[in-house]
Amino acid sequence: MRIAIVGNGKMGQAVAALAERRGHVIHTMIGGAENHGGRALTAERLAGADVAVEFTRPEAVVANLERLIEAGVPTVTGTTAWLQELPRIAALVERRRGALLHAANFSVGVHLFLRAAQDLARRFAGHSGFDAFILEEHHATKPDAPSGTARELQARTQSADPARPFPITSVRAGATPGTHLVAYDGPSERVTLLHEARSREGFAAGALAAAEWLPGHRGVHTVEDMLFGAGG
């Protein structure tokens, strides 16, 4: 496949390196300096790209998605903290009969972890002797907090046990690619469910798998649609 990479940062570079190792062609790589407001995402620059993979910043992603969808390029985005704009982007995808896959986290394990956390929350419902909390840690340069994955974890645990608060604490320090945990702390015991990403490779592999899957799947998808199927 010919892949347009939008965002030349840690994730854009990880996806590009993995894609080349797997025999894909990097059609173009578009960095921040040349692309204010998505202006580098022209039909000419994108002509011949089978799919785009977008990893930029919360303040840049929406303009990029608009331009990519208008240009008719199936687009995978892993950028976080923009989902308040999803209804507008989804309407554009529908209007243009386009394809978009978005995920705050592309690792396979984290999606199994989210499901396990929801199940655990259901089992703890009604056991009032425990306080629950969510802790997430990321490298010092991650711009947004809490992480998209932590928000999703909170939404799922709260939907399973609406009576219990699940406050999030975020740590931004060092180089960790991403750690999330949910814990239930009681007077004499603690139950902890933990997901630790060891490197960006897992995110890059998931984003690339999404890029391989997306062309031909019209509409707006999450990574769970790809991993577990529509009814999954």
Ligand X SMILES: NC(=O)c1ccc[n+]([C@@H]2O[C@H](COP(=O)([O-])OP(=O)(O)OC[C@H]3O[C@@H](n4cnc5c(N)ncnc54)[C@H](OP(=O)(O)O)[C@@H]3O)[C@@H](O)[C@H]2O)c1
Check residue 84 and report its DSSP letter.
Answer: G
Of all helices (H) and strands (E), which one includes residue 180? Answer: strand 179-185
138 is catalytic: yes
Comparing CB distances to ligand X, the nearer of 156 and 164 is 156
Residues 193-212 that bind ligand X (CB under 6 A): 203
Q: How far is the CB of 11 from ligand X (least distance, A)?
A: 3
| First vs last C-alpha separation in the chain | 27
Residues 105-124 that bind ligand X (CB under 6 A): 105-106
* CA–CA–CA angle 79, 82, 83 (5° rounding): 110
Burial class (CB in 10 A: 0-12, 13-18, 19+), 167: exposed
Residues 142-161 that bind ligand X (CB under 6 A): 142
Q: Does 60 interact with ligand X (rule: CB under 6 A)?
A: yes
Interatomic CA distance for residues 193 and 180, integer angstroms: 8
Cβ-closest residue to ligand X? Answer: 9
Q: How far is the CB of 186 from ligand X (least distance, A)?
A: 33
> Does residue 46 contact residue 52 with C-beta atoms inside 8 Å?
yes
Cite the active site residues. 138, 142
Binding site for ligand X (CB under 6 A): 6-12, 30-33, 35, 55-58, 60, 64, 78-80, 103-106, 142, 203
